[in-house]
Structure 1
Amino acid sequence: MAEVVERNLESSAAEVIYVKKLKLFNDREVNELIRKRRQHEYSLQKRNKRVLDYDAYISTELAILRLLRLRRQQIDDRRHVDKIERPIIQRLVRLHQQLCYRFQSRIDVWMRFIQVCKILGRHMSVVRLWNRCLQVHGRTDPRLWAAAASYHLHEHTKVLVRSTLRNLSRESEQLSEEQKSTRHELSLLTHHTDKRKKSSVRGFLKEMQEQVTELDRASSQLSREKRLVYDSVYLDAIREARRLLTEGLILNPECGMLHLELVKLEANAADFFNSRILHRANSASAHLDALSDRVDSSTQNAEGATARKKVKRMAKVDNEDNATFMAGVTEDVPFVASGGAFRLVVEAVTERFASDPLILNSLNAILSSVPHLSDDSILSVLNEKVKKLDQTKPSPDENKVLCQSAKFDEQMALSDRIAQLNEAVLNGGIGEALSLWDSWYTQTDPNHNNPKESFRFVDPSIPESVSLLRTRLLLCTVDHCQTGDATSADSPRYSLSVSTDINDFVCRTRRWLDQLATSRWGKTSPDFWFEYVEFERKSGDCTRIPSVQWRASKTLTPEAYSRFTHLLNSTLDNN
């Protein structure tokens, strides 16, 4: 522990030397600074890590940084800023990285690190942090997907535009300097060379002229990139935001907020394509002919001829810009610009949340803000659904009674299904019981031929649903144990076949449990995670139990997680 602490302190020796050299701190303050850092480093080396220790260290480093800047203002000295402040900033970044690594389940830790990187101007680090945060918390907090899409669409876009224009301006200045020097050398060789020596430098003159032509072409290419940088960056931002929202909807298909954010994004994309890209996709020849006819009708003299040449040259440049830009556009531009994608998303949201008045009212507000993209038919259908829901909306007392009766009916239905499974086991065996389960909760999608699991929509707060889950896991385990016993007497290679069957059973069951973990089972049911742990302990892989417990810690609500730990502790006490 002491070696690690002293090594970390030695890394800050250079900045302390420069602080003493500039007399920003006196000897007593320098000693206090080193003592504080040593104290914080020792607190970070404890066996039980705490967020408070990292927060205290970060607060101390921020206070040191502010104090250094105040002392610089007092003495008006700007020397060695990079050598003093850069190690402090690197230390802050290191502390935040360790904090996010050790406390991945806390979203506030990730958000603070993202905010720090924004303040420091590390926007590529912000992008990587968003990706990592979505990998960890994408299933538990759908709002993160909307926040990441908003960052890519607004803040990151502005940063990319500024940095791209800055780089292009720097390259343009270098090219202009090269053009000036090359043209100057060419003029000297052309006008100030003796006639007897011109034949000997003719090849060199030709090379210089080709070099000037290449520089002019590169300069025009840079100018074209400057003109296209806004549209290309915003187009990439729309694509990235759409990708994030669709991935969030795949993991959280029941989140209405993400559906509404996707509707807003498609409305913005339709306006952007209509104003910035649609005219590029159209044929430029008609535009050129119209401009030429306009100039021919208005001017007939020499000035008109000059204007025609200028218009043709500008049209040619526009055509080249449009061709360069449209080479990277893969979307159906007329369809998106006319609002086709927007209307498809609106129809999908209307069908999916037909019984949710809050989502429908929010969707109606969005459609009223973009009347040029909304059809009267969509608005009329949406208004009718909202009116029907308002008319059929029960009073609070009636709603409470209906909820209680619906929950009671669901409890009775689940109890009846448990009884049917037990009866099927007694009459036809475990195979018939599993077939009965599949007829209830496993349907095949006719479009994709994939099994669609509907048990994930069962309310996990009902005790009978947890009993049904236990019954399913018990039936699967007993069925495959019986299959292994039956195979052992017949097959000469029974050990290999049995191990293969058991591995397939474990993989299928684990895949089914992972699907349930992405629903409200994983967020609200501690019994589900307890059964997951018991399945890995009895039939699966014991080495996966810590990872399952970690997933439960970051997925469950605090109250549900305390119940989960109580179940685990009671199991250990019984054993």
Structure 2
Amino acid sequence: MAEAVERNLENSLNEILYIKKAKLFNKLEINEVIRKRRQHEYALQRRNKRVLDYDAYIATELAILKLIRIRRQKADDRRFTDKIEKSIISRLVRLHRQLCYRFQSRIDVWIRFVEMCKILGRHMSVVRLWNRILQVHGRTDPRLWAAAASYHLHENAKAKIRSSLRKMSGETDKLTEQQKKLRRELKALTRFVEEKNKNTVASIVEELRQNTEKLNQASDELARDRRLLWDRIYLEAIREARRLLTEGLSLNPDCKLLQLELVKLEAAAADFFSTRVVDRYDSVKEDSGPTTESMDVSGDPVPAVFKSKKRRKHVAKVVEDDNTQFMACVTEDVSFVASGKALKLVMESLLDQSPDDVKTLESLQLVASTVPHLVEDSLVVKLNEMLDILKTEPSQSHPPAEKVPILKQDEQRSCLTNRTVQLCQTVLSDGIPAALDLWDSWFTGTEQGIVKRDRFRYLNPEMPEAVGLLRSRLLLHSLQSSWSKIDLPGEQVITKQPMNSHQENEELQQKTRAWLDTLATSNWGQQSAEFWFHYICFERECGDCTRLPAIQWRASKTLQPEPYNRFVSLLNMNS
């Protein structure tokens, strides 16, 4: 532990030396910074890692960074910025990376890392982070797919455009300087030439003119890339956002949010293709629209009236080359997307899957109203009719779900209490096998009572009676697998038998585990900390102890924040 702490502190030694040289902190403040860092490093080396320890370390580093910037402003000193601030930022990135690795189930930890990288302008890191988040939590929270698609479509596209423009500006300046240099050399060579050096100078001049030609071609290509930059990057952003949303829908096919986001994306794509791609897709005309002939070779606006036919032909040729270059990057069916047919398919799919959801239909109507020229009138009429029917007949907009028993909560709790009592009486009178058979008749048999068969997973996990019934079922399994009752003439003898000694016990164990796995995919897995605690107790006492880490990991990924905190408390109290 001490070696790792001292090694991390030694890595910050150069940073401390530069802080001392810049006179940003005095000796006492430097000692305090080292003391706090050593304290935080020791806290991170504990066996039981905590998010609070990482948060405290990150807060300390942010406070140091803020104080350094304040001192720099007061002293108007910008020395060693790349040595001091860069070192602190790299430490912050390292802490966030370790935090995400240790607590992969915490979505808030990942999002904090993403936001920090956005503030630092590390957009490539943000892209890699989103890919990792979707790998870990792709099935946990479908909203992450929508957030990643939104980032690629907006923030990442803008960052790419700014970066490309800066790079192109630097390249343009270099080309301009090189062209000026070649012109000066040509002028110097052709001004005063002696008769004996004419052949040598002529070959040099020819070589310089060829280089000038190449520079002009490079300048033209750079200007073309600059003109097509926005459209190319936005086209790539639409493709990446569509890929993320469709992949998210393949993992979460019933998520209406992702379907609605896909509708919005297709509407934006249809608008983009109809305004920026269709004109390029068609043959180049002499008087094309402003979207294709709005700029000349240098990137300046082209005047409405040309002074010469030669200039007109030159600009038309440049525009035609631009269109050809851009259409080489387009792989979509332009007419299909631009006409709104792709949008129509997505909207019809959402209407078929959500015919009774008023909120989803209202959101869909709002999206359709933003692009009325791309949505067919028949589809709008159908959507309005469905909304009118749902609003006039609210009872039909929320039909009774087959999976959820229609009961008042008091009646349901009373029923569960009675069944728990009945189980206990059956154990005392007829034994554990009879009680297990009674349970099967309630929840896996053919009985259709107040609590229907195979509907235990749809009970409210927050009801104490439901949790008590779950605990009773697991207790029955534990007793059945550990003890057997032998009937003798005139008496009953209870004898203990080894676990899993009979085939019946193994079958019962597999059956109980499969039932618990089914409950884990329902509200029990999301809202009940007691369910996961009893699941762990079941595996520890009469199951497979090697499954305990996997169950804890599933609980951390499935439980909501408050139930998860209660689950951790239960584990700590019983450890």
Partner of 1:211: 211
Aligned residue number for residue 107 of structure 1: 107
1:382 Cα deviation (Å)? 1.3
Work out whether 1:144 is the aligned partner of 2:149: no
Counterpart Cα distance in 2 of 1:85 and 1:550: 37
**Does the 8 Å contact 2:273/2:334 carry over to 1?**
yes
Aligned position for 1:277: 277
Kindly tell me: are residues 326 and 12 of structure 1, through their superposed partners in 2, closer, same or farther at Cα, counting changes over 3 Å? same
Distance in structure 2 (CA, Å) of the matches to 1:4 and 1:390: 65
Q: Secondary structure at the match of 1:104?
A: coil
C-alpha distance in 2, partners of 1:28/1:169?
A: 47
Is the 1:460–1:525 contact (alpha carbons within 8 Å) kept by the matching residues of 2? no
Partner of 1:346: 347
Residue 252 of structure 1: CA displacement?
Answer: 1.4
Secondary structure in 2 matching 1:259: helix
Distance (Å, rounded) in 1 between the aligned partners of 2:316 and 2:520: 58
* 8 A Cα contact 1:44 1:54, kept in partner: yes
Letter matched to residue 117 of structure 2: C
Task: Give TM-score scaled by structure 1 length.
Answer: 0.73
Query: Secondary structure in 1 aligned to 2:178?
Result: helix
Gaps of 5+ in 2: 293-304, 417-439, 448-453, 474-512
**CA–CA distance in 1 between the matches of 2:238 and 2:318?**
26
Q: Which position in structure 2 is the counterpart of 1:336?
A: 337
Q: Which moved more, 1:98-107 or 1:66-75?
A: 66-75
One-letter identity of the residue aligned with 1:277: V
- Structure-1 residue corresponding to 2:558: 555
Query: Measured at CA, do residues 230 and 397 of structure 1 come closer, stay the same or move farther in structure 2, by a change above 3 Å?
Result: closer
In structure 1, list runs of 5 or more residues that go unmatched. Answer: 292-303, 422-454, 471-509
- Whether the 8 Å CA contact 1:123–1:156 is kept in 2: the answer is yes
| Residue in structure 2 matched with residue 61 of structure 1 by the alignment | 61
- Residue identity opposite 1:552 in structure 2: A
Task: Quote the residue 1:191 is aligned against.
Answer: 191
Q: How does 1:287-436 map to 2 (within 5 A)?
A: 287=287, 307-394=308-395, 404-405=405-406, 418-419=444-445
1:415 Cα deviation from its structure 2 partner: 6.6
- Relative distance call for 1:565 and 1:170 in structure 2 (3 A) is closer
Q: Counterparts of 1:260 and 1:21 in 2: how far apart (Å)?
A: 57
Q: 1:415 to 1:459 in 2, by over 3 A?
A: farther
**Alpha-carbon contact 1:251-1:518 (below 8 Å) kept:** no
Q: Which amino acid aligns with 2:240?
A: E
Contact 1:242–1:265 (8 Å) recurs in 2: yes
Contact 2:186 2:208 survives alignment (8 Å): yes
Residues 41-80 of structure 1 mapped to structure 2, 5 A cutoff: 41-80=41-80
Count of residue correspondences: 483
Aligned to 2:233: 233
| Contact 2:5–2:42 (CA under 8 A) maintained in structure 1 | yes
CA distance in 2, matches of 1:162, 1:515: 50
Distance 1:151 1:59 in 2: 26
- Corresponding residue for residue 433 of structure 1: none
1:129-208 matches, cutoff 5 A: 129-208=129-208
Q: d(CA) in 1 for partners of 2:61 and 2:571? A: 41
Mapped pair 1:118 → 2:118: yes
Residue 253 of structure 1 corresponds to: 253
Indicate how the Cα distance of structure 1 residues 400 and 215 shifts in structure 2: closer, same or farther if over 3 A, else same.
Answer: closer
Deviations 1:85-126 (A, max 9, x none): 111111111111111111111111111111111111111111
- One-letter amino acid of the structure 2 residue matched with residue 553 of structure 1: S
SS in 2 for 1:200: helix
SS of equivalent residue, structure 2 residue 394: coil
Matched residue, 1:487: none
Cα pair 2:356 2:397 within 8 Å, conserved: no
User: Which amino acid in 2 is paired with 1:57?
Assistant: Y
The match for 1:92 is 92
CA contact under 8 A between 1:149 and 1:240: conserved in structure 2?
Answer: yes
Residue 331 of structure 1 aligns to a residue in which SS?
coil
**Alpha-carbon distance, 1:190 to partner:** 3.0
Q: CA deviation at 1:389?
A: 2.2
Q: Write the mapping of 1:483-522 to structure 2, written as runs, cut at 5 A.
A: none
What residue in structure 1 maps to residue 496 of structure 2? none
Q: Which whole-Å CA distance do the structure 2 matches of 1:119 and 1:267 have between them?
A: 30
8 A Cα contact 1:460 1:524, kept in partner: no
Task: Give, in whole Å, the separation in 1 of the partners of 2:9 and 2:393.
Answer: 69
Cα 1:183–1:339, aligned 2, differ >3 Å: closer, same or farther?
A: same
Residues 118-149 of structure 1: CA distance to partner in whole angstroms, max 9, x if unpaired? Answer: 11111111111111111112211111111111
What is the CA–CA distance in structure 1 between the aligned matches of 2:403 and 2:94, rounded to whole Å? 55
SS in 2 for 1:372: coil
- 1:163 deviation in Å? 0.5
Q: Match for 1:336: what amino acid?
A: V
Contact 2:61/2:92 (8 A) holds in 1: yes
- Structure 2 vs 1, CA of residues 165 and 129 (structure 1 numbering), >3 Å: closer, same or farther? same
Alignment partners' CA distance in 1, 2:287 and 2:529:
66
Q: Which residue of 2 aligns with 1:23?
A: 23
In the alignment, the residues of structure 2 paired with residue 163 and residue 233 of structure 1 have an alpha-carbon distance, to the nearest angstrom, of 11
Q: CA deviation at 1:278?
A: 1.1
Is the CA contact 2:357–2:397 (under 8 Å) kept in the aligned structure 1?
Answer: no
TM-score normalised by the chain length of structure 2: 0.73
- Sequence identity of aligned pairs in percent? 57
Distance 1:396 1:267 in 2: 27
Bigger Cα displacement from structure 2, 393-402 vs 191-200: 393-402
Tell whether the 8 Å contact from 1:274 to 1:338 is kept in structure 2 after alignment: yes
Residues 31 and 391 (structure 1 numbering): CA distance in 2 closer, same or farther, change over 3 Å? same
Letter in 2 for 1:554: K
Question: How far 1:556 moved relative to its partner?
Answer: 3.0
Report deviation, 1:205. 2.8
Residue 439 (structure 1) aligns with = none
Q: 1:403 to 1:179 in 2, by over 3 A?
A: same
User: Which residue does 1:546 correspond to in 2?
Assistant: 549
How far off is 1:51 after superposition? 1.0
TM-aligned CA distance change 1:121 to 1:246, over 3 Å = same
- Aligned residue identity for 1:18: Y
